[in-house]
Every structure is written in structure tokens, then in C-alpha cells.
């Protein structure tokens, strides 16, 4: 499984630095956070470093006050449903996306827009069919992926997920870009019904021979490697790891978090505020929080050089890049050569993280809302459930997925 960088506020320098240091990587551009000129500048640098670029049109809630999105040429002005879909609205939008954006930025693939899926009705199906039909007629040589931006209520219903799979199984696209809205806007999700339906949806699509990217994700979704998902997408702020519908729909309540700096401990799958690392420093267990050698980079070295962590110059920049660097390595090692090896590795990963987070808690080191101990049992439960649901077919088809 790969990590794609999910573009959001302030991601330009991070994307360019990381793709350069990785000598490649994939980035999903966000028109909400970038002008076309910024895309052209960033794409030149990323392409030069052997990176891949995708553009998410973010056409989830077209009526909403979505700020910078409406400034882009592909965005319909004075949007009206009837005129957009019965006139030349779709064709004009796709023409602009391909000719003015995708081709100039040398995009690897075409993410076809679709509406936020609050319910699987005929209207959503007809509109999505239109988007696909028009998009596939364009002269674009890259792969095509349909956006599936899915409401939590849909993902909490086994019947709705089954209906969705039946609806999309014949779509002539190369894959799907799934954006799941987390239940209750939780960063780490403990809802096992939602989690099981998400991984089962991914598995059903993979078994159709399609690719799957899961957007707005975090380290908890390493679990999706069990379904052999091709990539999860994550960025810096939580709004790039937990889909922020409020940013795209002005009917939703806006929530604003206070800024702070977090350190990601990959072996514990948890993030800690730096003052909690001071406790570890005083107790002589700071080394237990240090990333294993296989994840190490210079981004977090300063925290473990012998000084009290809060007295070091560990900044947001280093914290974000450390998180994404570690997550990339974890994504790469999460998919093994067989289904059984992947399942066993994930169990070991989550059990180790559970043990470590409990050890840290016993010593006063807590991750607050980013402590993996809150969802470890949920992740382990999903592994067992998925193994019973899909394990047999996955064991026999793993190498073909």
C-alpha cells in the first residue's frame, strides 16, 4: 500500500520537500487550497522529482459557499441543478478540468467528480453516470478514478454498501477515490460497523479488479492493507486526515481547533503533545517513544538529543513531515506477499501499539484524542471479522489483486 499526500492548507512546501527526499511519491492537489498558478508551479517541481499528481475537483457540495473553489474556471457560476445537468454544464466543467488543469500539470490520473453521497438514490446514480460518460469521452491518456465521497450513515448500513457496490460494479473506470466521512467527525474511529463496512466496500471493489485510493485518512487506516487497498491519503492538519465536510458545506457547523504541536510515535500508532514527552524525559523512558531505526529521519532527531523536549526547537514543520515520513514507511511495509502474512503483521502492529500506549498511560503519558489505545480493540476486531467474511477468497486471489 502507498501513501498519497493529501493537499490542504500549507501543504505546498511539505509536498515538495517530501517528494524530493523520497525521490517520488504521489500528491492529490486541492483546488480549495490552491490557485491554478500555484498548481502549475508545484507540479513542475513535483514532476521534476519523479512525483505523481492527481487533482480532486472537490465538487461534493456544489451549492455551498466553498471559498476559493468558486474562483476556478472549471467551477460552474451561479450553479443551478437543472441547467447544469440538462445543458452543457458537465461538458464545460470537464473540458476545463482536462484542458486547463490536468494536461498542464501533467496529472497521472483523472479523478472524476461526483456529489457527496448522502443517500444512494436514482438522482445520484444518473448524475454520476453523466459525469463518467462525459469524462471518458475526453482525450486524456491517464487512468480514471471516480470520486465516492460517502456519508457516515451510508457506511453504517450494510444494505446501503451492498447497493452501492451493485451500482458501481459496471462503471468503466480504472478505480475509485473513496472519501469516507468519519462518524461523529472522530479522528480515530471506534465504530466497528462503520469500519467493517468501509473495509468490505474496499474489498468488493478490489475483487472487481479496480484500484482503490482512500482519501482523508490517517494511520488507523493501515488496517485497509488487509483489503489490499492501493493507497491511503493523508496530510498535515487533521482536516486532511478526517474529511471536513464543514469546509465544503456551509449548512454544517464549523469547528475550529487550537493549534498545537504533536509528535507521532509510529510503534505506538499515537501522537503526543510535546509536554507529555517531558514526562517521559523525567522518568527516563523517552527512548521508548523514539521512532525505530527503519522510520528515522532528521525531522524528529532533535527531540531525542538529550535535552528536555519542550526546550528543543521541534516545530510544526518537523512534526508534520515526521508524521508523513513515518506513515509512508508504514504503508509500504503493511502489505505483505500473502494475505495471511498481511493479517498476522497487522495483528502484531495493533497489539504492540495497544501494549505500548497502556505502558505510556501508566507513566502519565497520554495522547488525548490521538491515543491509539482508544481504537486498538476496534481495529483488532475488524481483522477477525474481515478474515471470516473475506479471508478465504482473499487467500486465493491475493497475488491478482
Residue 254: pLDDT over 60:
no
Closest to 301 (Cα-Cα) out of 322, 274, 279: 322
Tell me: do 289 and 208 sit in the same domain.
no
Q: Is residue 171 in a domain? A: yes
Tell me: do 209 and 348 sit in the same domain.
no
Tell me: do 150 and 222 sit in the same domain.
yes
Q: What's the mean pLDDT when you consider all of the chain? A: 94
Residue 229: pLDDT over 60:
yes
DSSP string, 267-313: TTTEEEEHHHHHHHHHHT-GGGGSPPGGG--TTSGGGGSSS-GGGS-
Which among 186, 221, 247 is the end of a domain? 247
Q: Where does the pLDDT of residue 258 fall: very low under 50, low under 70, confident under 90, or very high at 90 and above? A: low
Q: Where does the pLDDT of residue 79 fall: very low under 50, low under 70, confident under 90, or very high at 90 and above? A: confident
Tell me: do 39 and 111 sit in the same domain.
yes
Give the per-residue pLDDT at 82: 79
The span from the CA of 21 to the CA of 9, in Å, is 21
Q: Is residue 384 in a domain? A: yes
pTM: 0.96
C-alpha pair distances (Å), 289 with each of 111, 238, 278, 321, 355: 38, 22, 11, 17, 13
* Residue with grid cell 532528521, as numbered in its chain: 298
Domain that holds residue 140: 2-247
Q: Which three cell numbers stand for residue 127?
A: 448524475
- How many domains does the structure of the chain reveal? 2
Give the per-residue pLDDT at 66: 65
Tell me: do 241 and 358 sit in the same domain.
no
Residue 61: pLDDT over 70:
yes
Q: Where does the pLDDT of residue 257 fall: very low under 50, low under 70, confident under 90, or very high at 90 and above? A: low
DSSP state letter for 56: -
The span from the CA of 249 to the CA of 236, in Å, is 21
Q: Is residue 278 in a domain? A: yes
Give the per-residue pLDDT at 81: 77
Which are the contacts of 342, defined by CB distance < 8 A and separation ≥ 6? 225, 226, 228, 334, 335, 336
* Residue with grid cell 436514482, as numbered in its chain: 122
Tell me: do 168 and 206 sit in the same domain.
yes
Tell me: do 279 and 348 sit in the same domain.
yes
C-alpha pair distances (Å), 345 with each of 127, 292, 340: 41, 16, 8
Tell me: do 242 and 290 sit in the same domain.
no
Tell me: do 226 and 326 sit in the same domain.
no
CATH for 103: 3.20.20.70
Q: Is residue 255 in a domain? A: no
Q: Is residue 401 in a domain? A: no
Residue 196: pLDDT over 50:
yes
Q: Is residue 400 in a domain? A: no
Q: Is residue 15 in a domain? A: yes
Residue 143: φ, ψ to 5°: -75, 160
213 within 8 A of 232, measured Cβ to Cβ: yes
Which among 247, 272, 299 is the end of a domain? 247
Q: Is residue 256 in a domain? A: no
The span from the CA of 60 to the CA of 304, in Å, is 43
Tell me: do 355 and 381 sit in the same domain.
yes
The span from the CA of 24 to the CA of 375, in Å, is 32
Tell me: do 195 and 282 sit in the same domain.
no
Which among 200, 217, 247 is the end of a domain? 247
Partners of 27 in beta bridges: 5, 53
* Residue with grid cell 502519565, as numbered in its chain: 364
SS3 category, 159: helix
Tell me: do 13 and 53 sit in the same domain.
yes
The span from the CA of 320 to the CA of 45, in Å, is 20
Give pLDDT tens digits for 135-186: 999 989 999 999 999 999 999 999 999 999 999 999 999 999 999 999 999 9
Q: Where are the alpha helices (DSSP H) in 23-97?
A: 36-48, 81-86, 89-96
Closest to 56 (Cα-Cα) out of 111, 12, 5, 15: 111
Q: Which three cell numbers stand for residue 371?
A: 491515543
28 within 8 A of 5, measured Cβ to Cβ: yes
Amino acid at each position: 500500500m502507498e501513501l498519497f499526500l493529501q493537499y490542504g492548507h500549507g501543504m505546498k512546501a511539505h509536498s515538495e520537500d517530501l517528494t524530493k527526499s523520497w525521490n517520488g511519491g504521489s500528491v492529490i492537489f486541492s483546488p480549495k487550497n490552491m490557485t491554478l498558478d500555484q498548481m502549475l508551479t508545484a507540479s513542475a517541481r513535483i514532476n521534476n522529482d519523479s512525483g505523481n499528481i492527481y487533482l480532486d475537483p472537490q465538487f461534493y457540495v456544489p451549492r455551498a459557499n466553498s471559498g476559493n473553489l468558486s474562483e476556478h474556471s472549471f467551477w460552474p457560476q451561479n450553479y443551478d441543478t437543472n441547467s447544469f445537468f440538462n445543458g452543457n454544464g458537465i461538458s464545460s466543467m470537464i473540458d476545463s478540468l482536462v484542458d486547463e488543469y490536468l494536461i498542464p500539470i501533467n496529472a497521472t490520473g483523472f479523478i472524476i467528480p461526483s456529489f457527496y453521497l448522502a443517500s444512494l438514490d436514482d438522482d445520484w446514480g444518473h448524475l454520476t453516470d453523466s459525469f463518467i460518460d462525459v469524462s471518458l469521452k475526453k482525450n486524456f491518456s491517464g487512468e480514471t478514478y471516480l470520486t465516492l465521497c460517502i456519508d457516515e450513515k451510508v457506511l453504517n448500513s450494510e444494505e446501503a454498501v451492498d447497493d452501492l457496490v451493485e451500482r458501481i460494479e459496471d462503471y468503466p473506470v480504472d478505480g475509485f477515490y473513496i472519501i469516507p466521512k468519519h462518524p461523529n467527525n472522530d479522528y480515530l474511529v471506534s465504530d466497528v460497523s462503520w469500519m467493517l463496512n468501509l473495509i468490505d466496500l474496499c474489498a468488493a471493489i478490489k475483487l472487481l479488479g479496480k484500484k482503490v485510493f482512500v482519501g482523508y485518512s490517517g494511520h488507523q487506516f493501515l488496517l485497509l492493507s488487509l483489503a489490499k487497498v492501493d493507497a491511503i491519503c493523508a496530510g498535515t492538519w487533521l482536516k486532511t486526515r478526517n474529511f471536513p465536510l464543514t469546509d465544503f458545506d456551509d449548512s454544517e457547523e464549523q469547528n475550529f481547533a487550537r493549534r498545537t504541536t504533536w509528535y507521532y510515535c509510529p510503534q505506538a500508532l499515537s501522537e503526543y503533545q510535546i509536554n507529555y514527552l517531558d514526562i517521559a524525559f523525567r522518568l527516563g523512558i523517552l527512548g521508548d517513544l523514539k521512532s525505530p531505526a527503519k522510520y528515522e529521519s532528521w525531522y524528529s532527531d532533535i527531540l531525542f538529543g538529550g535535552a528536555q523536549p519542550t526546550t528543543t526547537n521541534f516545530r510544526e514543520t518537523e512534526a508534520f513531515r515526521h508524521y508523513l515520513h513515518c506513515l509512508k514507511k508504514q504503508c509500504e511495509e503493511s502489505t505483505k506477499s500473502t494475505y495471511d502474512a498481511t493479517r498476522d503483521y497487522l495483528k502484531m502492529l495493533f497489539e504492540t501499539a495497544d501494549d505500548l500506549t497502556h505502558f505510556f498511560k501508566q507513566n502519565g503519558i497520554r495522547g488525548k484524542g490521538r491515543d491509539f489505545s482508544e481504537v486498538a480493540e476496534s481495529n483488532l476486531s475488524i481483522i477477525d471479522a474481515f478474515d471470516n467474511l473475506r479471508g478465504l477468497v482473499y487467500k486465493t486471489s491475493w497475488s491478482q489483486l
